[in-house]
Amino acid sequence: MPAHRPSRPRSPLAGPSTGPSPPFPIPLSGPIVKGFGRGSRELGIPTANIPLAGLSVGGHEEVESGVYFGWAGVDVDDQGRRQKSGGGDGKVGGVWPMVMSIGWNPFYKNSVRSVEVHILHGFAQDFYGARMNLLILGFVRPEYDYVDKESLVEDIRTDIDVARRSLEREAYARLKDNPYLVQFEGGEHEQEIAN
């Protein structure tokens, strides 16, 4: 059972200043699927969810439940419109900072583990079925249980701030250009999962 949220102040950064250390970076990809519908509606923090099966990429299905940060490449534009390969400028999709939860969400008493990604960008529309490639660069905190929704939202907002500050450091910022993040070809089987 996850511990309750500690009362001590949290660190403003995650990960060593020299950059990701093993087991990071961890690549993870999959189609964006509908989640529980709580991120936007109840919490005001929209998420892009991928199937839990995505954790098997690179043999990381046993990754610890908790909150992580890194970069998210999605085959959509800044508004959330799907992008097709072979565009005039050669660019497909974009890369944005992200913070993500892998776990059981004990506040909601989920019966299944989930992968929920909050992309630190405001999109105009949903993009279910789009392909998302994640480069997980570090661990922010373990999964906690909460006594109320306000405490949960407060911690998520802190997670977002920690992720943003952590990714601004040069050793993490340069990984935004990793070619893996915008390689969306070959995900046809993932589209079937999303539909």
Dihedral of the alpha carbons of 184, 61, 144, 160, in degrees to the nearest 10: -20
Indicate which residue of 62, 64, 116, 154 is catalytic.
116
154 catalytic? Reply is: no
- Looking only at the bridges linking them, the beta strands covering 114-119 and 94-103 are antiparallel
Q: Which residues are catalytic?
A: 116
